[in-house]
Amino acid sequence: MREYLILLIATALVCGIVQMIAPESSDAGLHKHIGLVCGLCVLCVSIAPFSSFIEKISSKDGGYFGELVGEGNLPDYEQMYEDNLIFQSEANMSAGLKTLLVRDLGLDGDSFEVTVTLVAGEREYLADKVVVYLYGKAVLYDPHAITDYVNGLLGCECDIIYQ
């Protein structure tokens, strides 16, 4: 930091000296150009330390922000997005399938739960497995009717678990 301040002060002094010994002309055009060049020199020297900061920010390994995170790499937001998308999709499909089982098979909605597990296909998520937890009055319902309905609807494995 000390070297930076010395360089900045030296640049400002040299620019001041150059402006003082520059010849005065009748229209002051040369003096304006010298002032512009000197101002640009001082500006370049004053923003030089920020170039290393900008290089760190734009580096591919996380740079400055990666150092803040701790390991030099930013979190994998794409993986976090995928995980959250699968989690929310599984919850929505489970709720939707429960609604369909109540409506189409006449099960009591308070006496069973549905869990859907998804896997990533090429362009979409596919149901991999459905687990239906039966308790209360629902244990008396035919499990084959439930598995046949789920297999016909989603085309995946369906397990029935009695609790």
> Are 105 and 147 spatial neighbours (Cβ–Cβ below 8 Å)?
no
Phi, psi of 141 (to 5 degrees): -80, 150
Average confidence score pLDDT of the chain: 84
For 34-92, write each residue's pLDDT tens digit: 889 999 998 988 888 887 777 777 665 555 555 555 555 556 788 888 889 889 999 99
For residues 34 and 17, give the distance between their C-alpha atoms in angstroms, rounded to a whole number.
Answer: 11
Q: How far apart are CA 13 and CA 72, in angstroms?
A: 41
Question: What φ, ψ does residue 136 adopt, rounded to 5°?
Answer: 65, -135
Confidence of residue 99 (pLDDT cuts 50, 70, 90): very high
Residue carrying structure tokens 């309905």: 149
* Residue owning tokens 């030099």: 72
pLDDT of 27 strictly over 70: no
3-state secondary structure of 109: coil
Q: Is the pTM of this model over 0.85?
A: no
SS3 call for 123: coil
Tell me how far CA of residue 94 lies from CA of 14, 17, 31, 70, 116, in angstroms: 75, 79, 78, 38, 5
> Can you list the domains of the chain with their CATH numbers?
2-69 (no CATH), 78-162 (3.30.300)
Q: What is the 3-state secondary structure (H, E, C) of 3-36?
A: HHHHHHHHHHHHHHHHHHHCCCCCCCHHHHHHHH
